[in-house]
Structure 1
């Protein structure tokens, strides 16, 4: 460590007792923290060490002489990432479409944009800022390439794809702006082709080249499917549609009987509304609206839609909603008697004092947020059941860049609580300086 006896004693205490070096001596951490391997690579043993040292998992000795673990009563939540990959033809289209955006992502330091959040290095020049319009366009294209034409279109006095513009799409026509999107996003060579009258075919065309929306529909289907809860056997094949429709007809009859009978209401309400509710979180309102219009297509065609077979009820909570509207939406979602299965909410309003955990244990994150801490703020300490969080990740896309920037913010925290067994290697193997005699 050097010639300082105090530093050597402190390093010995860290080695033997496992103290957190950044809490014990911040000055020493600043001196050696940047010279350890832990600052460059978050190793698995460092992650395990941090997990063991969490406050909620540390036993505390009470006045009665009993060790109590504060977090023992909190069920653990699981987080898994679903990795998607585009087809080669779609990947080439994606690269050609986003090439200019990727080159213009960073703007000079004097640009008037949102500051780029990263770990600052001393005596380093400012690397610039994020062009937020380009950042939004890249995430739109990664979510679904069909959103790129809407993002590239310029709207007078306001950027394309913002909450102000998207707010008008929900009420622009009878299908949440789906037909409006078709006319705006189609190529100029196809301007003579009208919008399909069959909404089911339009939905298939929507998700045909959209890996993330397809993954969303698959995951929600896995969580909300009812046939496994009724029979315990998963039925696949050409008879799946008819069996699902038959199940839904039975549920409607039973539900009508329960509603008309006050005695059966308490018993039947539990079984009918026991479906897992899903909380889908987005980073931008356009992607949130895009999934909403896909689910709305199902609602328009009761005889053909997947929503009729699975019984999905969708409710959006967007950033352009007023405080009163948000309060009513949250009250409906947290009400066990309300028939809602999916709540679509944006990251900008999700983590700030909004409790989604009374009726929701399934969370699906469709886009990485700008601030990584917003992901974990959706995990509640007072939940009584285990929570499952699924992150949708697109390989070889802009998601890789966003996740890398998020990881750099945790490097210092990972290194701060790790074991620095090789911190003195730099001093041990350093060649002594040769002094010439004059």
Structure 2
């Protein structure tokens, strides 16, 4: 088997020579181009396992190379080489589809790590293999199939991803899937709940500490960044980070290095950052609770996880999986779901999403005495769609008035939950902002 072939595009002879020598020691063959035109010709003639391109070229720029590769040879990872401090340029490249980026002067260790990660993408799994039995994302609905396709594409990149979605939708599951399908799959996946770490311990937990750096520091301890080195660091509930920690996290992202508590020496770290929160991060920025510059660094690409109410056709499959797991764990036969029970679950709104479905089924499984779950075994929280409170038709003079009352209650609840942020409330209700404004006016709720 021949060694991998990498295309290097740069008009500086010193850079070309440095990259060629470094990759040669890694048993990697290289071809060089000094202009955009020359590079495009080579890309049309040969298949490369990686492309390294400078941002500034005599007859164009690296972003044009990235877009060309995305269009004509998307299986080839492309990394951007930018000037030191040009992080905005690097982020533009990631948004355009670049695999990763390097800054000048080129750090050789960072270069070797990048090349190693990119070459592991040379034999990606086929798309149909990404939906096999090992896929933890269960479902056949269009939203979940679209999510699978997005994950498959984003797993090939090293860009930071902001995973948005309501509580209980499975954001960590999505993060783990991105990691498992990417070139870092054999390296650590380190999840951390940012809201569960006491603020006074946060810096030590993230960056590590040296023995004696504070009371109770009886030994050196690596932080979460060090633990995730060469792998993926997943920051769940990132909106809960205190402002002081947001500043330190921003620096760690920009410098790709951390400084343990109790030392002046920085340690370089190579991690892919994924983050998530059930809050509207843009609204948190607007309210001054989250730094805009950090949001800009973390939200290079946003991936939205749909709520369960938008993929109701997946509920039977999810129920079967959850009950099978409960039966195995408790060494009991798996009960079947009666048609009335399944119908009741499928019409419920599930504000707590898949996590709420799991809790509902676990309670029913625990209390069930027969071999089937009936509708009465399912206990759902109140609300028009829960099935607990059926409307008394003798008390309804006008269906339109009754529906207006339900709509008014739902809109008011959404506005209260989002502190009367209409944009966030519209998103919570699955409406456009314009549609929400129309309904507010119709119901007499517009201020």
Using structure 2 for the length normalisation, give the TM-score.
0.19
Higher relative contact order (CA 8 A, sep 6+): 1
